[in-house]
Chains A and B, each alone.
Chain A
Amino acid sequence: MTTWHKKSISPFVHWLFGLGIVIGSTLSAFAITSVNGWMNLPSGFRIVGGKFTDIDVLGAMFSETSLVEFIHSMPGYYLAAAMVIAGLYALRLVRSKKDSKRQSMDLVVIKRLMVFSAIMLACSAITADITGKYLARQEPAKLATIEMVDKTSADVPFIFGGFEGPKGEITGPYIKIPSALSLLAGGSTKSVVTGLNDIPKEERPPSAIRPIFNLKLTLIIVITLVIAGYLIIWWRKPAWLRNRLALIIVAASGVLGVIVVEFGWMITEIGRQPWAVRGYVTTEQALTKTNDITTFGYVFPIAYVLLFSVTLLAMRRIIRDTTQKGKRI
């Protein structure tokens, strides 16, 4: 936005600036995910007599937990971003005049983003398997709560859907895949999965993460169907991609990736409760004792909503100016 209008800067250099943003935000995402990984499984230090010793900052940052979380969440973020952008382009196509030059360009952008989304979805699926095996080893309480494993045993089925009833039975519609959770957790149907009976009652995560996981899985299935459907239509009937209904579906599913990422964060965060830093600090202890923080807590969101809405207005104006008058800001 600030360099595009300068003719002296070549498109390649402009693209390089964009690449810098991608690399920077990816590193930033790694830093955030790494801290979260550390909270899920603290490492890189020892506590001797109430004091931290042998502090290994790099070891803590690049622990197995943070790497597993990173490779699973990063493709998810890229997928979410790509789908939002594709959705916005689809929305513009629905509203624009037919057969203009810009329209075919918009379609090219959507196609490329859909291919990118498909690759990212595949990466997420592969790393989801790694995450499952990691959870079974290092964070069994989370996995047991997500999948309602009451007793430690082998041959555990994977259950999709349903709610946990008052006596531990499953109510509502659900799909049961025999031995699938053992396969996911240990690579074999004979693998033993730790159940909730081996986890102290006060250290069990809230059962709320179970329905969140089901919702997440449902949305992932919807996203897979949308992307697969899009690619199949592109392959067999490319003309249909300009169809209003196809564009509306792409536009509507744009937000799904973001919701999936949110659900993923909710599962990892709520699934760690009652701990803030697992095994060391509970959330109750981590709460700040600063006075009036709740009063101030209302002011900040208001300021952010104000800032966000003004930014949206500004973006709208810039887009309108550049597209209508042919002028670049």
Chain B
Amino acid sequence: MIGALALFLIPTLLFVLAFLYETYLSLRRLKAPGTGRGGYLAATWEVTHTLLVFAVVMLVMLFTQSLDKLSDAIFTSTFLAATVLALRAALYVYIFYVRTTKKIGFIDWLFALSHIVAALLLVVVVLQALVFIFTTHPPINESFIPIFIPGLLGVIFICAIPIIMLYRTRR
């Protein structure tokens, strides 16, 4: 049970940390837009969203048998969170790739706000999922884990090669 939950909670926690940093930067740039990309992160940072996908995959993989009830429990908040994240993405692309002005305005405030709302909604999703798991004790499906772990290690290894190459050649 603990091991299975760790598979879900570790990527969630890592994503929350990365997203909190994003939220902090989105608020900081309202005061001081900074230089270059307007005091925000480069597009490659968006790779952290893979962790979110990973957490969802974990939920689907581990709780296959009670997926209908689990999805009922977290549907509304997950949906709203996904919508706000989509809005955040649209604003991100607009601010850094479409508009020409560097002046801070309404859109930037909306951008920062979307971070806060998304973060709150994601916390609600995780709490709802945990409450569901600890109150109903759904059966945990372990049949995919033996295939999943080596696959995950392989993916991490393959992904690490270009990332390491990129950061080594940067300097």
Question: Which residues of A are interface residues toward B (Cβ below 8 A)?
Answer: 2-3, 6, 8-9, 13, 16-17, 20, 55, 57-58, 288-290, 292-293, 296, 299-300, 303-304, 306-307, 310-311, 313-314, 317-318
Contact = CB atoms under 8 A, between A and B. Distances in A.
B90 A317 contact: no
16 contacts: A2-B44, A6-B169, A8-B169, A9-B165, A9-B166, A57-B144, A290-B71, A290-B72, A293-B75, A296-B76, A299-B83, A300-B82, A303-B83, A307-B86, A307-B90, A314-B98
Contacts of B166: 3, 9
A311 B96 CA distance: 11
Nearest to A296: B79
Contacts, number: 65
Contacts of A300: 79, 82-83, 86
Contact of A57 (B75, B143, B169): B143
B143 A303 contact: no
B43 interface: yes
B94 to A, nearest CB: 5
Contacts of B71: 288, 290
Nearest to B100: A317
Contacts of B82: 300
Interface of B: 42-44, 68, 71-72, 75-76, 79, 82-83, 86-87, 89-90, 93-94, 97-98, 143-144, 147, 162, 165-166, 169-170
Contacts of B42: 2
Nearest to B162: A17
B97 A317 contact: yes
A207 to B, nearest CB: 32
Given A3-B166, A314-B93, A288 B83 contact: no
A8 B170 CA distance: 7
Nearest to A20: B162
A123 B97 CA distance: 40
